[in-house]
Structure 1
Amino acid sequence: MIPSTHLPSGSPGLVGFRERVEQAIRVTEHLNTLPYDDQDAIQAAWSELTGQPVDPTFRLIPPVYSDHGVNIRLGRNVFVNQGCRFNDTGGIELGDDVMLGPNVSLITSGHPVAPSERRNGITHAPIRIGRNVWIGASATILQGVTIGDDAVIGAGAVVAHDIPAATLAVGVPARVIRTLT
């Protein structure tokens, strides 16, 4: 598990934060109007959101949501089902052949837990998802988590700790229930 970083309000790390959020909202609003059959336009909008070219094997079913977009890195042959949320302030990396089920949430940021600090900045840490990972419908992956290659995350799971490669993790909080062969 990667420890989170705390950015207090007014810190240099938050300069341009609002503008990046507003740009991501504009781009995802446009992307969400595109039909699934127009993958070229979806890929172009995704490239605009992330600021980088997208592999032609990338597939996405709108709608999708992101708070920045510029902190998302995708491998080849990634599939994103409808309703997924990329809260990418801390950075999100998806390896080759990753599949995200409907309504998956990748949440890389939050707020300090202490009541006196909660409204004074954000915490964030990257999410790293290895090659050939399948994340089931409505699963939530939290900041600082790494999921190893070939793992499966069950539908509805909440992943707050690293998941080893080639394992099946389910539940709230997610726990490994078996090794995959």
Structure 2
Amino acid sequence: MAVTLREQINGKEIKISDPVFDEIHRLQAENDERLVDLNTKFHSKQETNQILSAIIGENIDNTVNVMLPFHTDFGKHITLGKHVFINRNAMFVDLGGITLDDYVLIGPRVNLITVNHLIEPSNRRGLSTKPIHIKKNAWIGAAATVLPGVTIGENSIIAAGSIVTKDVPDNVIVVGAPAKITKKIH
């Protein structure tokens, strides 16, 4: 079995001089063509899911509903469960991998960011990646941002506008920047 790009780079620092950047740029260009098609024409739900299936490289269940426009830089590192709803203008920076389990709700203008730049100024154009996992029945509110390496627990809610920098346990509501637990869900 071939090693995927995500497996090659996750958790590692990638300097701009690394040859893997050629593959990253190739995948971005390939994805950009499909995104232009997806976001600039009217499509039926079935057509939308067919194009999204091509973008992510696996069939999307017919229970998935994605409102357009939808944005992603690679696409091939996204996994969607069943009954997932993604609202308009969501941005998935998915090089590190994004997994949405069944019944996840993504609000409008949500940012899921799996990539960070390196801290040292001389290497700042380099990257590091960590996956995001949003577990079953979680809800990410409008304009919230989830940063690299975060797992959102089952049934948890991320309030609108929150910035999530750390893992969120099951059955809680988090609010703020950075997001903090404000309530347990029973």
Name stretches of at least 5 consecutive residues in structure 1 with no aligned partner.
none
Equivalent in 50, 54, 69 of residue 56 of structure 2? 50
Which stretch shifts more, 77-86 or 11-20?
11-20
- Whether the 8 Å CA contact 1:60–1:80 is kept in 2: the answer is yes
Aligned pair 1:166/2:175, yes or no? no
- Whether the 8 Å CA contact 1:75–1:97 is kept in 2: the answer is yes
- Structure 2 length-normalised TM: 0.91
2:90 counterpart residue number: 84
Q: Deviations over 1:34-87 (max 9, x none)?
A: 436x10010001001011100000001100111100000010000000000010
Structure 1 segments, 4+ long, off by >6 Å, are none
1:149 counterpart residue number: 154
Aligned residues: 177
Q: Shift of the alpha carbon at 1:13? A: 3.9
Q: Shift of the alpha carbon at 1:116? A: 2.1
Q: Shift of the alpha carbon at 1:12? A: 4.9
Q: Shift of the alpha carbon at 1:154? A: 0.3
1:74 counterpart residue number: 80
Name stretches of at least 5 consecutive residues in structure 2 with no aligned partner.
1-9
Question: Map of 1:31-42 to 2, 5 A cutoff?
Answer: 31-35=38-42, 38-42=44-48
2:26 counterpart residue number: 19
- Whether the 8 Å CA contact 2:16–2:123 is kept in 1: the answer is no
Aligned pair 1:59/2:58, yes or no? no
Q: Shift of the alpha carbon at 1:26? A: 1.2
Q: Secondary structure at the match of 2:155?
A: coil
- Structure 1 length-normalised TM: 0.93
In terms of fraction of residues, the more helix-rich structure is: 2
Equivalent in 82, 104, 124 of residue 129 of structure 2? 124
